[in-house]
Structure 1
Amino acid sequence: MSTAPPSDIWPYEPVRVGLVGAGPWARAMHARMLAAGPETALSAVWARRPEAAAEVAGPYGAPVAASFEELLDRCEAVAFAVPPAVQAALAPRVAAAGRALLLEKPLGADLDAANAVAEAVAHHGVISQLVLTKRYHPATRAFLAEAATREVTGARSCYLHGAFLGGEFATSWRLEHGALLDLGPHLLDLLDSAVAPIVSVRATGDPRRWTELTCEHENGAVSQASLSGAVRLPRARTRVELFGPGEELVYDTADIDHEECWPVLRREFATAVRTGKGTGIDAAHGLHLQKLLDQAART
């Protein structure tokens, strides 16, 4: 449930958010979302390559921080758009500085790193929120609300695309770890929310080509999840099918506009920072998902 004020008028000062990273996702989503306001303001951008940071910051008139420490001085919250290993190395420093965190999934490249992030957030008592994109779309929320009224005994799902075959999103960490770490958090989160908490997960296949997950849920239901970033499709396919004694319930992103996610994400993060009340889609939830990913990777 949203914690944002019901009015369209933003009642607080904009949250000054610093952005770490200057890759394709920082350019395509983070920078323009944070700069759009009125809930947030892009206060600075920092990346290991200053020229890349300048390309991201320039269109919005945001300054380029000369160092990570300068970024922290310029903001009250930090958004990450970097590989998981980099996020996990820097996020505890953000928490220790008392800044809120807008985190990418997965929290880290492995369970130990993710645990360190979640522990730092909890220890310092700062607000955190995960960019689980689809969770902020009205269609997703309508699906999850309806799923909560159903008895589910089984589910099938998939998240498939061809971004790993080439292009700017075929980044080194995605090619190394494959769809399990990149797409897995999204699909496991949807199944965990729509069916019941996942208590165990097994994986077969190669995460760099195709991975099949079998999940057992707290309510006794079983679900399947197919993941691949290396199949040729005209566009990404995300679909969840729920089955039980009643009619099937289907969630499909084919016709949704992902641009509708960003204002919701921005407003809920800023509201959490200003009120001190998180949404529950936070670092602790990210650690739960990472434990499932680790369990799958070990099978």
Structure 2
Amino acid sequence: MRFGLFGTGPWAHLTHAPGLAAHPDVELVGVWGRNPDKAAALADEYGARAYPTVDGLIADVDAVAVALPPDVQAPIALAAARAGRHLLLDKPVAFTEAEADEIAAAVADGHLASTVFFTRRFIPEIQEFIEQARRTDGWVEARVDHVGSIYEEGNPFGASPWRRESGGLWDVGPHAVALVLPVLGPVAEVTAMTGPRDMTHLLLRHASEAISTLTLSVGAPPAAARQEAVFAGKAGVVTVPVTRWEPVEPFGRMVDELIAAAGGGPRPQLDVRFGAEVTAVLAAAEEAATTGRTVRLAR
């Protein structure tokens, strides 16, 4: 499958470019970036071509991989889908429910394959845990703490403007929501509150009547950092496995799923339609935190 890579930041360097280049069934055709010099450097590193325009790269490939801020990703993804290209997107798909739904509709209309990179969900231990949890009845609650800081020395994401502006809700929030949705089901109501140091607290009532509590931050004091996810119910209190963070390996599994789906195989669970569902929850949380009201989802 011929891929075009959009983006030249840390995530493109750490994951997308090496992941695409290493995949035996992928040809990395070209790179586009908002900084032409960075695009040229990244393309040269992997024997690809730097493209001066978005449309030019879309025209030359079968699929696009996007490693860009959500508000930049969304219009590129929509243009690619309308041009008949398969989509490999990053989370969140977009900052608004309407944009995410528009992309999902274009993918459906074009009978295209799509995947969204919720990193941990492509790790086998996490996949196995989720599948077992889905087959287990009686869950009444979940708690996800995704608290840390991207502003410590050496963290490549600390200089990201969109992360600084949007914080943990939109950066690590997608990972947390993607863990609870497949087990507890769709979200019906969202309440949220923000605190100091980018601390965001979400309370989600699922259609199953189960409640999940999410604590999110990318700017917490280092001593307060923690990452844990727990489900509780008739089966007891069960902790989601802690896994090694090595993004290129799960990225490769995501590419496998996209290529298989494009060839007529099963639709990936973590496709753009699922990504749009996650975006709707996060947008509702942002509204709830801003207005102080509980927001109902109608999906």
TM-score (norm 1): 0.88
Q: Do residues 210 (structure 1) and 196 (structure 2) align?
A: no
Runs of 5+ consecutive residues of structure 1 not aligned to the other structure = 1-14
Matches within 5 A, 1:171-190: 171-190=160-179
Q: Which residue of 2 aligns with 1:89?
A: 75
| 2:5 alignment partner, SS class | strand
Compared with structure 1, are the counterparts of its residues 258 and 76 closer, same or farther at alpha carbon in structure 2 (3 Å cutoff)?
A: closer
Compared with structure 1, are the counterparts of its residues 176 and 130 closer, same or farther at alpha carbon in structure 2 (3 Å cutoff)?
A: same
Q: Do residues 161 (structure 1) and 163 (structure 2) align?
A: no
Matches within 5 A, 1:105-124: 105-124=91-110
Compared with structure 1, are the counterparts of its residues 51 and 29 closer, same or farther at alpha carbon in structure 2 (3 Å cutoff)?
A: same
Q: Which residue of 2 aligns with 1:10?
A: none
Structure 1 residue 165, shift from structure 2 partner:
5.3
Q: Which residue of 1 aligns with 2:181?
A: 192
Compare 155-164 and 15-24 and name the one that shifted more.
155-164
Q: Do residues 281 (structure 1) and 267 (structure 2) align?
A: no
User: C-alpha deviations, 1:107-143, integer Å up to 9, x for none?
Assistant: 1122232233223222333221101111100111121
Aligned match for 1:32, one of 14, 18, 21? 18
> Is the Cα–Cα contact under 8 Å of residues 139 and 256 in structure 1 kept in the other structure?
no
Compared with structure 1, are the counterparts of its residues 153 and 204 closer, same or farther at alpha carbon in structure 2 (3 Å cutoff)?
A: same
Distance 2:263 2:243 in 1: 34
Q: Which residue of 2 aligns with 1:272?
A: 261
Matches within 5 A, 1:232-271: 232-233=221-222, 237-253=226-242, 255=244, 257-271=246-260
Runs of 5+ consecutive residues of structure 2 not aligned to the other structure = 289-299
Aligned match for 2:33, one of 40, 47, 63? 47
Compared with structure 1, are the counterparts of its residues 69 and 276 closer, same or farther at alpha carbon in structure 2 (3 Å cutoff)?
A: farther
What is the identity, as a one-letter code, of the residue corresponding to 2:252?
P
> Is the Cα–Cα contact under 8 Å of residues 177 and 208 in structure 1 kept in the other structure?
no
Compared with structure 1, are the counterparts of its residues 237 and 41 closer, same or farther at alpha carbon in structure 2 (3 Å cutoff)?
A: farther
Distance 1:256 1:61 in 2: 27
* Percent of paired sites with the same residue: 32
Distance 1:233 1:259 in 2: 26
Compare 82-91 and 113-122 and name the one that shifted more.
113-122
Distance 2:196 2:268 in 1: 30
Structure 1 residue 208, shift from structure 2 partner:
6.1
> Is the Cα–Cα contact under 8 Å of residues 88 and 116 in structure 1 kept in the other structure?
no
User: C-alpha deviations, 1:241-292, integer Å up to 9, x for none?
Assistant: 1111233210143556545312211211221222264213111111111111
Structure 1 residue 40, shift from structure 2 partner:
1.5
Structure 1 residue 67, shift from structure 2 partner:
1.7
Aligned residues: 285
Structure 1 residue 33, shift from structure 2 partner:
0.3
Q: Do residues 78 (structure 1) and 78 (structure 2) align?
A: no
Distance 1:152 1:41 in 2: 44
Distance 1:298 1:165 in 2: 29
